[in-house]
């Protein structure tokens, strides 16, 4: 793949996502005009870029979609669900073609057929658009056109048969120069240009002027056919236009428009090659038009003057009296308000695209440097009398820590990159299920390491689908319960305690724990007595059991009992946890807790049966010394009381099938959180805390659920890092 095609893949997918997000935002309470501009620019840029490659079907489809969008300009009320669906389908097809281009370098043989099918659908939508198109408001633009310019346009209009007067408003993008646009040159190429006004935003002091940012806006009158559109075809999203017949120039045009129509009537009276026999008719017509304008404006005295001047001109068979009256009325021009200028666009941050391979290599190198720093730290401790070596080790440790933090910040990405795929899913599924629902996203800028963020799509997909399919009630049930008919699903991300937390909340009917108990018994997971003895919290945890579902019926979306089990398995694999809260009739919240990074961990070294092992610090809630007399037995398990809670106690040596030493008078216990509940883990001793780059288990060791990976210590020994979630049940 060439570098140019590689760049197109990156930008193309970003534009497809940008346009999809804007389409889904239409009608959601935002500025639809802004969203339409984003959509048009995305389609326009995709079309232009696709022309550089062997992708003619893509270019044809994007061109037709762009034309459809151009017809919807200033017509946001007709952008309904049908049009949004069609444009989203086009974007889906373009996304598929981008994958084909990346894989094969060319589009598949079926591309032309697929493009033709969608183009026919676009053609049908264009017919609806044409029928519904409202007129463009022209008041503000006409205020800029002087009577003389109107007169020139009307003269050119009469001289060109079958021509029309086009009012054009063109506001270039601030960065248009970098797109190769020359706004003024576009008007130089126009034929039939009768008037051109150029305005500029208030750029502030001259010292702050950026010569590379366009702050101009253009208003023009063009007489002719639609050929002017070809001149502006590459910046159509920045152009507004309206056709103004001569008889309608006064519509909403203020004093300038009135002066222009009066000037047109005066011009009609002074045509040099007009036959003398028609003078009386021209005088009567001009007087009638001018009198009607004065009636519309409520200027009765001026109307009377026009009528008298018209009668005098007819009596003398000379247009001079009426001309004098028309010129006197057209010469008075009120001061026009200065057009307001929008605030200059904020400058965009400068971004540098770097391939993932380079970032991954940088992470690996920082890890290697960390190993050297660990080794130097070990040497420093071995040679405690070498003060210079100690200072060098301290400096290297500080720099290594700063470097590792900087490298990890580069590999961070916002969870919004995952969130952005769900508005489309919620929209499509809510339509399919007949359950109106909206998606609210919060904390999309929250960042975590790329490897962590890439773990989120599958768990969130299961959770969102479950919420829609059998968490949200149908509209009639919600209405009867006093709820809004449109349900709300919230995706929320935030950082807490050095971890990434992602919540999926719905305002549905909640989880029926009684039904969960019955299904657990029916599937043989529990006895009836065991199910009845479960607390509400423990009963909720049954939804994560393999094969158990809260759905009342089996569908292609859910009901097989694998979704929640898959969610917990994926999160546990990353060293995270899942908690669930549900209130009957009010809804459910499921929280995913994940480490911010998988490549670098803060570890606590513990001693167990003469071995040193590592535990992730973010799992440890507290360390306590527990007298043996405070440990009791219940149902065959050791327990103790911690902050008024009964907590189970397990031995790490026993979990790993190691021979534990004789028990000490006091047990050293780590309070850890497993699946939202505290558990005490007994160890023989506590060691140092350290930042380390984790190496995954390779080969035949890769399947061991008890270990997250390994860390190479400064003395050359390998530290095994324990996955407590994989061994504590």
Looking at residue 567, its pLDDT comes to 85
pTM over 0.75: no
Cα–Cα dist 427/583, whole Å:
25
Q: Supply the DSSP string of 449-496, one letter for each residue.
A: EHHHHTTSHHHHHHHHHHIIIIISPPHHHHHHTT--SSEEEEEEEEEE
Task: Let me know: does 564 contact 543? Beta carbons within 8 Å.
Answer: yes
Does the domain formed by 138-249 have CATH 3.40.1350? no
Q: In this predicted structure, what is the pLDDT of residue 589? A: 93
- Residue 136, helix vs strand vs coil: coil
Q: How many CA atoms lie within 13 A of 372 on its CB side?
A: 11
Cα 327 to its chain centre, rounded Å, is 57
CATH 2.40.50.180 fits 601-727, yes or no: yes
What are 697-710's pLDDT values in tens digits?
766 666 676 777 88
pLDDT grade, residue 78 (50/70/90)?
low
CB neighbour class for 510 (10 Å; exposed up to 12, middle 13-18, buried from 19): middle
Asked whether the domain spanning 138-249 has the same topology as the one spanning 3-130, the reply is no
Q: What are the domain boundaries of the chain?
A: 3-130, 138-249, 254-332, 356-405, 414-511+550-595, 601-727
Higher model confidence: residue 581 or residue 146?
A: 581
Residue in the block written with tokens 């690996």: 364
Highest average pLDDT, of 19-23, 36-40, 270-274, 322-326, comes from 19-23
d(CA 280, CA 282): 5
Written as six digits, the tokens of 122 are 């676009």
pLDDT at 249 over 70: no
For 351-389, how does the pLDDT look when each residue is reduced to its tens digit (9 = 90+)?
666 777 787 788 778 777 777 777 777 777 777 666 777
- 467: closest CA among 439, 495, 500? 439
Query: Tokens 């969102």 — which residue?
Result: 464
- Range in 33-47, 196-210, 651-665 with the lowest mean pLDDT: 196-210
Please answer whether residues 668 and 625 qualify as being in contact, where contact means their C-beta atoms are separated by less than 8 angstroms: yes
Split at pLDDT 50, 70, 90, the class of 333 is very low
What pLDDT digit, counting tens, does each position of 18-63 carry? 888 888 887 666 566 677 778 888 888 888 788 777 788 898 898 8
CATH topology assigned to domain 414-511+550-595: Heat Shock Protein 90 (3.30.565)
Interhelix angle 56-71/32-50, rounded to 10 degrees, is 160
Residue scoring higher pLDDT (650 or 181):
650
Does residue 298 or residue 725 have the better pLDDT? 725
* Residue 54 CB burial class (10 angstroms; 0-12, 13-18, ≥19): exposed
Burial, 199: exposed, middle or buried (Cβ in 10 Å; 0-12, 13-18, 19+)? middle
Look at the domain 3-130 and name its fold: 1.20.120
pLDDT tens-digit readout, 113-143: 888 888 888 877 655 554 444 444 456 677 7
Q: Say if residue 502's pLDDT is above 50.
A: yes
pLDDT digits over 428-475, tens only? 888 888 899 999 999 988 998 888 888 898 889 889 988 898 889 998
């Amino acid at each position: 793949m060439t570098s140019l095609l590689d760049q197109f893949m990156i930008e193309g997918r970003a534009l497809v996502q940008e346009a999809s997000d804007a389409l889904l935002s239409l009608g959601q309470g935002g500025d639809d005009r802004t969203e339409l501009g984003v959509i048009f620019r995305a389609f326009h840029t995709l079309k232009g870029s696709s022309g550089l490659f062997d992708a003619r079907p893509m270019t044809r489809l994007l061109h037709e979609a762009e034309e459809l969008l151009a017809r919807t300009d200033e017509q946001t009320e007709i952008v309904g669900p049908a049009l949004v669906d069609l444009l989203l389908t086009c974007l889906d097809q373009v996304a598929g073609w981008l994958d084909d281009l990346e894989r094969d370098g060319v589009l598949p043989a079926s591309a032309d057929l697929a493009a033709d099918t969608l183009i026919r659908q676009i053609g049908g939508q264009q017919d609806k658009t044409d029928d519904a198109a409202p007129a463009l408001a022209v008041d503000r633009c006409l205020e800029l056109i002087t009577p003389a310019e109107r007169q020139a346009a009307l003269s050119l209009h009469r001289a060109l048969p079958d021509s029309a007067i086009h009012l054009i408003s063109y506001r270039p993008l601030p960065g248009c120069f970098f797109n190769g646009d020359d706004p003024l040159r576009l008007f130089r190429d126009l034929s039939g240009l009768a008037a051109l006004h150029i305005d500029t935003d208030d750029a502030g002091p001259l010292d702050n002027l950026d010569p590379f940012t366009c702050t101009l806006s253009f208003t023009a009158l063009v007489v002719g056919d639609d050929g002017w559109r070809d001149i502006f075809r590459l910046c159509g999203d920045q152009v507004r236009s309206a056709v103004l017949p001569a008889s309608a120039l006064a519509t909403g045009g203020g004093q300038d428009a009135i002066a222009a129509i009066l000037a047109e009537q005066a011009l009609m009276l002074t045509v040099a090659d007009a036959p003398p026999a028609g003078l009386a008719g021209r005088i009567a017509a001009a007087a009638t038009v001018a009198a009607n304008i004065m009636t519309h404006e409520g200027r009765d005295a001026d109307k009377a003057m026009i009528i008298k001047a018209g009668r005098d001109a007819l009596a003398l068979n000379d247009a001079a009296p009426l001309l004098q009256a028309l010129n006197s009325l057209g010469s008075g021009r009120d001061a026009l308000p200065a057009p307001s200028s929008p605030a200059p666009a904020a400058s965009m941050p400068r971004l540098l695209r770097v391939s993932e391979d380079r970032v991954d290599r940088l992470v690996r190198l920082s890890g290697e440097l960390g190993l050297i720093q660990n080794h130097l730290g070990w040497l420093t401790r071995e040679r405690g009398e070498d003060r210079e070596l100690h200072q060098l080790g301290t400096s290297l440790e500080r720099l290594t820590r700063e470097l590792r933090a900087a490298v990890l910040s580069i590999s961070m990405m916002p969870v919004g990159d995952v969130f952005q795929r769900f508005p489309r899913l919620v929209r499509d599924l809510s339509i399919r299920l007949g359950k109106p629902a909206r998606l609210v996203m919060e904390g999309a800028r929250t960042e975590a390491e790329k490897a962590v963020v890439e773990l989120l799509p599958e768990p969130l997909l299961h959770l969102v689908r479950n919420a829609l399919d059998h968490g949200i009630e149908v509209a009639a049930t919600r209405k009867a319960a006093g709820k809004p008919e449109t349900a709300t699903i919230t995706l929320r991300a935030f950082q807490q305690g050095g971890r990434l937390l992602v919540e999926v909340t719905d305002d549905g009917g909640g989880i029926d724990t009684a039904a969960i108990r019955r299904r657990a018994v029916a599937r043989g997971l529990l006895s009836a007595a065991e199910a009845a003895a479960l607390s509400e919290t423990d009963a909720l945890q049954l939804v994560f059991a393999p094969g158990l579902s809260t759905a009342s019926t089996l569908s292609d979306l859910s009901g097989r009992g694998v979704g929640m089990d898959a969610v917990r398995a994926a999160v546990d694999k990353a060293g995270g946890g899942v908690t669930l809260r549900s209130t009957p009739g009010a809804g459910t919240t499921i929280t995913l807790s994940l480490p911010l990074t998988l490549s670098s961990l803060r570890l606590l070294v513990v001693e167990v049966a003469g071995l040193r092992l590592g535990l992730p610090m973010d799992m440890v809630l507290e360390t306590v010394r527990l007298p043996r007399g405070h440990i009791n037995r219940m149902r065959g398990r050791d327990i103790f009381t911690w902050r008024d809670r009964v907590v189970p106690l397990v031995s790490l040596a026993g979990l790993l099938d190691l021979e534990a030493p004789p028990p000490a008078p006091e047990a050293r216990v780590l309070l850890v959180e497993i699946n939202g509940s505290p558990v005490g883990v007994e160890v023989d001793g506590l060691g140092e805390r350290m930042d380390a780059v984790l190496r995954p288990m390779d080969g035949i060791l890769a399947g061991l659920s008890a270990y997250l990976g390994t860390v190479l210590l400064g003395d050359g020994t390998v530290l095994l890092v324990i996955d407590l979630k994989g061994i504590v049940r």
